[in-house]
Each structure stands twice: as structure tokens, then as C-alpha cells.
Amino acid sequence: MNIVMPNFASVLPEMFVLGMACAILVIDALLSGRRKVITYSLSQLTLLGALILTVMHSGEKEVVTFGGTFVRDTMGDFLKVFIYVITAVVFLYSRDYIKSRGIDKGEYYVLGLFGMLGMMIMVSAHSLLTIYLGLELLSLSLYALVAFQRDNAVASEAAMKYFVLGAIASGMLLYGMSMLYGVTHSLDIGKIASYIASHQEQQMILAFGLVFVVVGLAFKLGAVPFHMWLPDVYHGAPTSVTLYIGTAPKIAAFAMAIRLLVDGMQGLAAEWQAMFMVLATLSLAIGNIVAIAQTNMKRMLAYSTISHVGFLVLGILAGTREGYVASMFYTITYAIMALGAFGIILLLSRKGFESDQLDDFKGLADRSPWIAFLMLLIMFSMAGVPPTVGFYAKLMVLQTVIDVDMLWIAIVAVLFSVVGAFYYLRVVKLMYFDKPSGSGSLIEAGIDTRVIVSSNAILVLLLGLFPGGLIALCRLAFA
């Protein structure tokens, strides 16, 4: 019997993150008081090490290892780099926030690293089993993070809702995967794709399993009508956790959709494209309309996320290489925009003051002109106003659906984007034209946080002016 040794070099980043997360968990238990900064420093070093290990092997040919369950390719390496960078910025933004609220515990960083490990596994999954394991590792970490502020009843309620709905969605996804396995007799995504291509007579049974897979995907993306958890979780979780949930996991969910639908079930493209049309249309409509009625900034951004998921889905349903490139570009730029928006909320927060109400932004231009300008850039980008990157990202997605003769859905997307512009511009109006509210806005964040928040918002503008480099990298990922 010949035993094929797996290619351990391909999984070095995952092994490194796992080892460091376990080590940090033990080390943190031995630390107290001001020495807790060691936990934060080790977490950032872990992200740097993972980045170096990933870049070292990037550009090499695709490697499928561990019995066909894991793949290291250009798309995976590219998305992992963004996940590392975004997670590092999330940790930086969160440091002052969790200190001021008395939840400066090492478990925050450890759970963040384990969640990121789940994302890495999802990005490089080449088997239904690997996708599910990565998804559950991420989900369990997120459930714990949402309930991190244990004395907060709202956070505990949000965590319970998230856990119950997440368990239902995971069950549906697992049921769909079990049906695919029952028909194809394989968990390997490549073998599933080959089976679907050569067994047209079993399309109906496979399509039935596909429905459950798409439901699980739609829940993780936050697409309507599987969005019920998103506003409550965004609102109830500590803002530092909302920041984490609203950024990097979206990249992992995009990768999961590509691995499952494009790599594994391209033969059923007509079926999942029809489902995605419904998901995209409903997400654009509900997300943009309901966001108008929100008075809480985090809930508004939650419904905004739902509308952006509609655009993300549009790129995938186009079913072309350019569509996948546009969707990846949109996902990455949205993560950067969300990072900036929640980062500014954290920047304006202080002990006893969350700065998560729309009224808290009244007169911000008078109190802090620079921060108001940064928030203006973020809001303009989310609304799709040129020359910010949000405009170019929307334009790319719309172009791909028009190219495949789906003009009607592009018109729907544009109409609801105009509706959505209202609530983004309302924030700008509050900052520049309303008088300050009594809450004030004393900024207590450190200089490093201020510099990164500023760089984050300026990047949104620069990527809009010079999008070519990022687009070229996205195209390379699908070469």
C-alpha cells in the first residue's frame, strides 16, 4: 500500500496560525494587567507571519493536497492576504474600544484568529467536508465574539439569535451537501463537477440538493430572505465585533460561493443563476428601502450590507470570468469601505458613549473636520458616487450583467442604488448641515488608530482614481 504524503508546504500558513492561536491562548492565561499588550502584539505577529508564509508560495502552480480536500492556488493566496490585512486592522481599531469597556481579554484576539483560520480553510477548500469544517470554525468563533460582553443583555440576545439561525442554516447546507454526496459518491469538488457534467439525466436530483446549498450560502452572505440575523447581530454585538463580522468573513463567503458553485456546480449554472437573480433583486430592494427607516448607524450599515450583497451576487450570477472578477473586486472594496465606516464609529466612541446613533454624527464637521471628511469619503463610496471606488465597483458589476443580456436587472440595481444614496447622503447632511448634539465627540483614540483610519478612508478614494492594479490582481486570480 502506497501512502502519499501531503504537501505540508501548501498549508504552512494555516498550521502557523493554528499553532500561534493555541500558544497565545496559553500565554494570555499567564498575563495580567498591562502585560496584556503582549497578547495583542503576538496576535499581530501571527498575522504578519501568515502573510509572509502565504506570499512566499504565491505565484506557484495550483496544488491539490491532503487527499483532494485542500487546494492552494492564486485566488486563495490573494484572498488570504486581504483577510490577514483586514483582520490586523480590525485588531488595531478594536484595542482602545475593548479596553475602555473592560473586555480587554486575550480571548478576543484568540477567537479572532480561530475565526480567521476558518476563513482560510474556506478559501482553500477543495472538498465539501473542508468547506463545512472551515465554516463551522468561523461560525463558532463569531457566536462567542457576539456574546463577548457577557453582562450586556442585548449582546447575549443577539448571540442567541445568531446561534439558532446559524445552526438552522448550517443544517440546511449540510443536508444539501449530503444529497450531492449521495448522488455523486464524492466529497471532492473537482469530482463533483465532472460527475455533473457527464450525468445530465440526474440534473433534477442534483438541483434539489443545490437549493439547500444556496440557502446556506445566502445565510452566510446575508442575502434576503435569509438576512434576519444580520441587523440584530450588527446592532447587539460590541462595535469591535461588528467590525470583524462585517469585513473579512464577506471575503470568505465569496470564496465559498466560488468553490461550491463555480468550481463544483458549473454544470448547474442555469439553476443557481435563477436563484441568485431572486436573491440579488430582493437584497437590493429590502436592503436599500429598510435602511432609510433606521436611526441606529450600525443597523443602517447592516441593511446597507444586505444591499451590497445584492451587487456581489450579481457579479457571480453573470456566470462569466469578468463577472467573477467584478464580484471579487466588489467584495474586497466593500470590505475596505465597511472597515473604514465601523472604524470611524469606533474612533468616535469612548467609555459610556457608543457613537452608534445617526444623531451622534450631527455637526461632526464643526467638532472634527478631518474625521467628517473621512466619513464623507466612505459614505460617498458606499453610495457609488465618483470618483470613489464604490462607483467603479458598481459600474464593473453592472457592465458584466449587461454583457450577458440581463439589462433589466442592471436597471433594477441602478434604481435601488439611487434609493440607497438617500441614507448615505443623510449622514453627510447631518455632519455638515446640522448643529452638534449634546453628546459631543471627544476623540480618545491613539495616534496609530487615527493614522490607519485616515489611510483607510483615503484608500477608498485612491482605489477609485487608480483601480487598475487591484483589478489586474483580481483577473490574475481567475487566470
Domain annotation covers residue 419: yes
Residue 102 in domain: yes
Please report whether residue 288 resides in a domain.
yes
- Measured distance CA(80)–CA(234) in Å, rounded: 24
pLDDT computed for residue 450 by the predictor: 84
Q: Could you report the per-residue pLDDT of 250-305, keeping only the tens digit for each?
A: 999 999 999 999 888 888 888 888 899 999 999 999 999 999 998 889 999 999 99
Using omega within 30 degrees of 0 as the cis cutoff, is the peptide bond preceding 387 cis? yes
How far is the C-alpha of 136 from the C-alpha of 117, rounded, in Å?
Answer: 11
Look at residue 351 and give its three-state secondary structure: coil
232 closest CA partner among 307, 292, 308, 146: 146
Domain presence at residue 274: yes
3 within some domain: no
pLDDT of residue 221: 87
Confidence (pLDDT) at 196: 86
pLDDT per position as a tens digit, 160-195: 999 999 999 999 999 999 998 988 888 889 888 888
Query: 344 vs 201, 288, 340, CA distance in Å?
Result: 54, 22, 6
Provide the domain count of the chain.
1
Give residue 395's domain range: 8-477
pLDDT at 65: 85
Q: What is the mean pLDDT of each run of 10 residues along the chain (479 residues)?
A: 71 92 90 80 93 84 84 90 94 86 84 94 92 93 89 87 91 91 88 84 81 90 87 90 92 92 85 90 92 90 92 89 92 93 86 77 86 92 90 92 90 91 91 74 70 90 90 88
